[in-house]
Amino acid sequence: MYTVICDAVLDLVSGGATLSSLSLVRISRDTGISRNSIYRRWKSKEQLYSDVVKSIERQLPDLTELSARENLFVMMKTFDGAVERSKGRMEQAIVAEAQNFPDLHEQYLIEIVAPFDHAMKLAIRRGKETREIRADVDENLLAEVLVSSVSAGMSSNHREGQDFESASRRIIDLVFDGVSPK
């Protein structure tokens, strides 16, 4: 039942439901699990959401001996591929309603964002060691630019599924090469 409910929440949120407007009645109807059982398992909607967040942990990829561009591409692909679109939507919903669910947002930052952020900066630092990235580049800024570009492209609906990979590569190339003449 546990995973059934969590997946249903991901689907509903992915389908446009808001964390605050999503009701247990709806979840109960969608899953076929009685509202009663849900109340027995979770004392509140927040606690249910908390378990949903735990269910979307990504396993971060190890750094390869490939180029820095390739490593960062793999990281961005991990951040949100077309495969696990529902997870991305959930995260989007959490950020959008951070003020309504502060504890949930904090949990999200600690369990999801921070590890990914750490891995991202590790990949950047590796790129500096191999001289593929200049030493004076701000790691935080670079990571933020890359991640936000990808997540924005994910939420803007004019870019769908298969374009994701090429878009990520082009973003990486743009940021690596810069736009001014050399």
Partner DNA sequence: ATCTAACGGAACACTTATGTATCGTTAAAT
Partner DNA sequence: ATTTAACGATACATAAGTGTTCCGTTAGAT
Q: Smallest distance, Å, CB 15 to DNA?
A: 14
**Size of the residue set binding DNA (CB under 7 A):** 17
Does 182 participate in binding a copy of itself (rule CB under 8 A)?
A: yes
State the binding partner of 45 from DNA, a copy of itself, none, CB within 5 to 8 A by kind.
DNA
What one-character-per-residue DSSP string does 73-111 give? HHHHHHH--STTHHHHHHHHHHHHTTTT-HHHHHHHIII
Integer CA distances (angstroms), 156 to 90, 161, 174, in order: 15, 12, 19
Compare residues 37 and 170 and give the one whose CB is closer to a copy of itself.
170
Tell me the window of 4-12, 35-43, 79-87, 153-161 that interacts with a copy of itself (CB under 8 A): 153-161
Which of 140, 32, 49, 149 has the alpha carbon at shortest distance from 93?
A: 49
Does 122 participate in binding a copy of itself (rule CB under 8 A)?
A: no
* b/e map 35-55, b = 16+ CB within 10 Å: eeebeeebeebeebbbebbeb
Mark out the alpha helices in the chain (DSSP H runs).
Answer: 2-14, 24-31, 35-41, 45-54, 68-79, 85-96, 102-108, 114-129, 139-155, 163-177
Near DNA in 14-53, by CB under 7 A: 23-26, 32-37, 39-41, 43-45
Does 89 participate in binding DNA (rule CB under 7 A)?
A: no
State the binding partner of 75 from DNA, a copy of itself, none, CB within 5 to 8 A by kind.
none
Q: Smallest distance, Å, CB 2 to DNA?
A: 8
Integer CA distances (angstroms), 115 to 60, 96, 112, 122, in order: 8, 21, 6, 10
Does 145 participate in binding DNA (rule CB under 7 A)?
A: no
Compare residues 44 and 130 and give the one whose CB is closer to DNA.
44
Near a copy of itself in 26-85, by CB under 8 A: none
Compare residues 16 and 61 and give the one whose CB is closer to a copy of itself.
16
Give the interface with DNA as residue ranges (CB under 7 A).
Answer: 1, 23-26, 32-37, 39-41, 43-45
